[in-house]
A and B are shown apart, each in its own frame.
Chain A
């Protein structure tokens, strides 16, 4: 059994009404420990519902989700599930609870009943991981968006989760803030082995994942490597998604009859391919 197992999950926000709207309509997904998965889809496709199901904030209307074999709906193990799967949301201002950065980060482990000395260690460690240790005594509301979001991530790390789900964590950030947060996510995945589930509208972020899942109308439509997913430009457009500008460029050149074999995902790769075409 994989680390996270989603088995035939249905979810509806109004299960008792006549016109039941299924936000999720029979989703199956397995995620192994240490994977970096990006979930793509237009607004209303069910991505955010998925995010909240992973750590038991929402319970499936039908089907089941297990984290290391534990059901997310098991009330006795609720703490176990929520500390195994941390959730970072879009707006950093809604996630700050304390007046000082380090107290904010300590909030999670305090709630889990971690002994004070260990909390101190965990908070310092977490702030160093997201590169915010120098700001530990600052007021969160005076930080930039990217810094706030990294503090929110530190608060999750301090609970020592096996997995972090991030629901559009960069939607409100400027380009620098976005880069900071993406670098932090990469580091957590590579160096700390934390499983990452990133929900995003930004294609340049999705291409950084090891695996991309595309959703629409409560279904999973495609599941593959970024290369596999982004090579199928017509499919993405059909489902109201975008491709990185470099991919779009090569796709259009190919459409005009030029010998383009592969779709590039990043600037450098695209430039190499263009240089070959020129020669």
Chain B
């Protein structure tokens, strides 16, 4: 299956609204079968990127392909292969859950909703307008899973949901897409998911991309990212040097701060070369070097804080 085009491929894709650059030119490749998490704070450009990919809005420059098809040519029929769920999606509120599913069924060549509503614990006869936020999201997800699309885009699906519903959604989603590995093609279902819930995303995403103020800071496999980022604490030899942050630290050391006994920082490239060797090159008087792995949440926070610090120093 290596000759298959990536599920999503963007080249120098950008979007401006007037003079405001919502998304700086970015390159992004989402491999088939990946669960690709798009993280970033509010206004980072996650929703804009998804809408560009789905041809809901038009790019200012650059190009993108979705399942091998140019994003600009995506029209109605393309959505038999692409599912989209968004926290703000306007639904036909007057329909019941079952009515909504029944209405959508004839639009798709494949429709398998046996036990889907039961599995998602959805009341089939209740109107969409009478559903809670979590239930609405489940109904939206059900309407996507039923036609087994090879690509699902989810824009903040967990926003505002309680942990139980969140877990339930993820469980159903993973269960269904695992079932799909034996269907259409053996690369399985690709998911691009934007989320604030980093802990949840970390538990199941295979890849992660970080958008910050419209710029893509990185996009890589989750395992590589976790390996790359480490929180490092350096203890300096007593009386060897004053306990303050040296001015010429490497650029891949973020949020460096002095401690009583030395220095603490986040290393963004810890796996490339021996960590101890790198630290000793910069801080020859280091007596001990301790490093810890970071969670996606701590990596995210470190990057945001670092960015804010850089902005402050520039201004």
Q: Does A pair with B?
A: no
